């Protein structure tokens, strides 16, 4: 049923759009949300709703006669706008025998580039055709939550408290929980299903900000440009060149932060830059913002031709989750992993999840693996056996929650 459900979900094109003024940013996400609401109704969930913002919520009532904390599970509906999500054609490779995976579009998921492929010998791998992304980020998480709820409904002998489920739009463009009503959702704590390799249990994320830089030049004929022309593209290059050369995504790992040039578009007269600032340390994060601000001010030189708009996107959820007050949330997940034969891999997310913001909104929210790899591109794939383990972990968390609270 996992494969059947997942391959049906990924055929919906739910790419979000950073430039859209609407919420959700694409109509297809609303259509997908309505489909998910029907899926939840079919398996027997209660109080199913989809609001005007596209948030899908549903609940599994408690089957015990005493109170325990309400646990939430969340996943996002959208896929990345960085690569096509239209006409996804999933390919199922059963009993993977190691070696390169040749995709119908002509490209290859190679062991040389992705040596961890060989960890999945004998398992079932799902890829796209190679002409699109797959959409495991985060439809694997969506699938796993539905499958776990379906199992609990069909096995009432597994005792659990009330469980809250939510599917949210626009996570990939940083707006996923802009209108999410934490109080109405009603969970005491939650977990996002938005991780990658089996075993990941993430309690730390980046601090993140976006810098939008607009540079106004002065275009005149180059033959008579002396002391008159201001080339905005060259000023943009000067800003980029002034940033630390080793602090880019291609040069950093672990807890190391970076500046990422997301886009540049312009000419002599006008150039626009988007630069993403990331760091796990709040202090270093603020220092990076100050550094960029200083660079822009210096290059502008008081002329007023360069404008900088800095917007914080989210903060390191570890500031909330890794506290004495919330330690039990992580410990509960760790026990569930171990009970399912999964070794917890605790490492910082080199990115963010909806949980990064939800944690600061009053809903502590660590991140659980989904079994997907190589997100946001044509080499994306997911391992079915890892998906099953994620489902097992969800079920076990719900069961252990009542034991812990008894």
**Annotated active-site positions, please?**
78, 171
List of residues 6+ apart from 8 with CB closer than 8 A: none
List of residues 6+ apart from 19 with CB closer than 8 A: none
Query: 368 pairs with which residues across the strands?
Result: 193, 201
Q: Residue 209 corresponds to which tokens in the numbers above?
A: 């900000």
Q: Where do we find the tokens 């408690």?
A: 62
Rg (CA), the chain: 23
**CB of 36 closer than 8 Å to CB of 165:** no
Quote the strand ranges of 94-226, DSSP E.
101-102, 108-109, 125-127, 163-168, 189-193, 200-202, 207-216
Q: Residue 101 corresponds to which tokens in the numbers above?
A: 């995976």
- How far apart, in whole angstroms, are the C-alpha atoms of residue 187 and residue 211? 34
Handedness of CA 339, 344, 349, 350 (dihedral sign): negative
- Name which of 131, 87, 90 is nearest 107 in CA terms: 131
Query: 127 pairs with which residues across the strands?
Result: 91, 381
Helix (H) or strand (E) holding 388: helix 384-405
- Name which of 389, 390, 381, 391 is nearest 7 in CA terms: 381
- Name which of 8, 168, 10 is nearest 75 in CA terms: 168
The whole-angstrom distance between residue 156's C-alpha and the CA centroid of its chain comes to: 32
- Name which of 348, 347, 355, 353 is nearest 326 in CA terms: 355
């Amino acid at each position: 049923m996992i494969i059947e459900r997942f391959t049906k979900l990924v055929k919906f094109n739910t790419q979000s759009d950073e430039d859209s003024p609407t919420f959700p940013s694409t109509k297809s996400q609303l259509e997908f949300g309505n489909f998910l609401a029907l899926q939840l109704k079919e398996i027997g969930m209660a109080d199913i709703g989809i609001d005007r913002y596209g948030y899908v919520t549903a609940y599994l009532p408690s089957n015990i006669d005493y109170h325990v904390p309400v646990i939430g599970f969340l996943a996002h509906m959208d896929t990345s706008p960085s690569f096509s999500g239209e006409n996804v054609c999933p390919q199922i490779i059963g009993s993977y025998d190691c070696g390169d995976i040749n995709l119908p579009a002509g490209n290859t998921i190679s062991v040389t580039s992705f040596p961890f492929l060989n960890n999945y010998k004998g398992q079932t791998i799902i890829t796209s055709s190679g002409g699109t992304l797959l959409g495991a980020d985060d439809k694997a998480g969506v699938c796993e939550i539905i499958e776990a709820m379906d199992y609990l409904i069909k096995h009432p002998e597994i005792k659990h408290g009330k469980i809250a489920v939510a599917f949210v739009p626009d996570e990939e463009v940083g707006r996923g929980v802009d209108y999410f009503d934490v109080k109405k959702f009603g969970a005491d704590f939650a977990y996002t299903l938005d991780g990658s390799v089996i075993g990941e249990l993430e309690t730390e994320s980046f601090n993140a900000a976006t810098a939008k830089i607009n540079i106004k030049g002065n275009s005149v004929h180059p033959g008579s440009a002396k002391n008159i022309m201001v080339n905005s593209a060259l000023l943009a290059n000067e800003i980029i060149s002034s940033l630390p050369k080793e602090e880019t995504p291609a040069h950093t790992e672990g807890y190391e932060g970076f500046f990422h040039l997301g886009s540049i578009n312009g000419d002599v007269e006008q150039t626009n830059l988007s630069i993403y600032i990331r760091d796990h340390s709040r202090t270093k994060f603020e220092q990076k913002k100050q550094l960029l601000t200083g660079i822009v001010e210096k290059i502008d030189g008081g002329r007023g031709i360069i404008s900088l708009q800095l917007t914080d996107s989210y903060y390191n959820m570890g500031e909330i989750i890794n506290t004495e007050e919330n330690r039990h949330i992580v410990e509960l997940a760790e026990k569930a992993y171990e009970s399912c034969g999964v070794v917890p891999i605790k490492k910082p997310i080199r990115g963010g999840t909806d949980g990064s913001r939800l944690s600061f909104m009053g809903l502590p929210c660590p991140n659980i693996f989904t079994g997907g790899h190589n997100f946001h591109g044509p080499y994306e794939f997911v391992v079915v056996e890892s998906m099953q383990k994620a489902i097992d972990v969800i079920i076990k968390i719900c069961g252990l929650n009542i034991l812990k609270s008894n």
